[in-house]
Homo-oligomer: A and B are copies of this chain.
Amino acid sequence: MRATLMYGAGDVRIETVPDPVLREPTDALVRVVRACVCGSDLHPYHTMPATTEGTPMGHEFVGVVEETGPEVTTVSRGDLVIAPFAWSDGTCEFCREGLQTSCLHGGFWGADGIGGGQAEAVRVPLADGTLVKAPVGEDSELLPGLLTLSDVYGTGYHAAKSAGVGPGDSVVVIGDGAVGLLAVLSARQLGAEQIILMGRHKDRTGLGVEFGATDVIAERGDEGIAKVRELTGGHGAAKVLEAVGHMPAYTQAVGVVRPGGVISRVGVPQYDDAPVGFTTLFGPNITLTGGPAPARAYIERLMPGVLDGTVQPGRVFDRTIGLEQVSDGYRAMDRRESLKVLIRP
Whether A281 contacts B291 by the Cβ 8 Å rule is: yes
Closest chain-B Cβ to A300's Cβ sits at a distance in Å of 19
Asked whether A274 is an interface residue with its Cβ less than 8 Å from the other chain, the reply is yes
List, in ascending order, chain B residues with CB within 8 A of A272's CB: 275-277, 279-280
Closest chain-B Cβ to A88's Cβ sits at a distance in Å of 12
List, in ascending order, chain B residues with CB within 8 A of A281's CB: 288, 291
Asked, given contacts A97-B260, A259-B94, whether A277 binds B285 with beta carbons under 8 Å apart, the answer is: no
List, in ascending order, chain B residues with CB within 8 A of A279's CB: 272
Cβ-closest chain B residue relative to A266: B282
Alpha-carbon distance between A278 and B291 when the two chains are bound, in angstroms: 8
0/1 string, A5-39, CB within 8 A of B gives 1: 00000000000000000000000000000000000
Asked whether A292 is an interface residue with its Cβ less than 8 Å from the other chain, the reply is yes
Asked, given contacts A97-B260, A259-B94, A260-B99, whether A282 binds B290 with beta carbons under 8 Å apart, the answer is: yes
List, in ascending order, chain B residues with CB within 8 A of A51's CB: none
Closest chain-B Cβ to A281's Cβ sits at a distance in Å of 7
Closest chain-B Cβ to A38's Cβ sits at a distance in Å of 15
Alpha-carbon distance between A279 and B292 when the two chains are bound, in angstroms: 12
Closest chain-B Cβ to A210's Cβ sits at a distance in Å of 30
Whether A277 contacts B273 by the Cβ 8 Å rule is: yes
User: Residue A277 contacts which of B259, B271, B282 (CB distance < 8 angstroms)?
Assistant: B271
Alpha-carbon distance between A289 and B163 when the two chains are bound, in angstroms: 12
Alpha-carbon distance between A271 and B276 when the two chains are bound, in angstroms: 8
Asked, given contacts A94-B260, A288-B289, whether A276 binds B282 with beta carbons under 8 Å apart, the answer is: no
Interface centre among A265, A289, A290 (most CB of B within 10 A): A289
Within 8 A of B (CB), among A223-268: 233, 235, 259-260, 265, 268
Q: Please tell me how many copies of the chain the complex holds.
A: 2
User: Residue A268 contacts which of B273, B276, B282 (CB distance < 8 angstroms)?
Assistant: B282
Whether A102 contacts B274 by the Cβ 8 Å rule is: no
Interface centre among A268, A282, A284 (most CB of B within 10 A): A282
Asked, given contacts A97-B260, A259-B99, whether A285 binds B276 with beta carbons under 8 Å apart, the answer is: no
Asked whether A286 is an interface residue with its Cβ less than 8 Å from the other chain, the reply is yes
Asked, given contacts A260-B99, A275-B273, whether A292 binds B282 with beta carbons under 8 Å apart, the answer is: yes
Alpha-carbon distance between A272 and B279 when the two chains are bound, in angstroms: 8
List, in ascending order, chain B residues with CB within 8 A of A162's CB: 285, 287
Cβ-closest chain B residue relative to A276: B274
Asked whether A101 is an interface residue with its Cβ less than 8 Å from the other chain, the reply is yes
Asked whether A269 is an interface residue with its Cβ less than 8 Å from the other chain, the reply is yes
Cβ-closest chain B residue relative to A273: B273
Asked whether A221 is an interface residue with its Cβ less than 8 Å from the other chain, the reply is no
Whether A102 contacts B259 by the Cβ 8 Å rule is: yes
Can you give 9 A-B contacts (C-beta < 8 A)?
A: A102-B284, A268-B278, A269-B276, A272-B279, A273-B275, A276-B276, A281-B291, A282-B290, A285-B294
Of all A-B residue pairs in the complex, the 8 with the closest CB atoms, nearest first, are A285-B291, A102-B259, A272-B277, A287-B289, A288-B288, A273-B273, A99-B260, A274-B276
Binding site for B on A (CB under 8 A): 93-94, 97, 99, 101-102, 162, 233, 235, 259-260, 265, 268-269, 271-292, 294
Given contacts A283-B291, A284-B291, 9 further A-B contacts (CB under 8 A): A94-B260, A162-B285, A162-B287, A273-B275, A273-B277, A281-B288, A283-B292, A285-B289, A287-B287
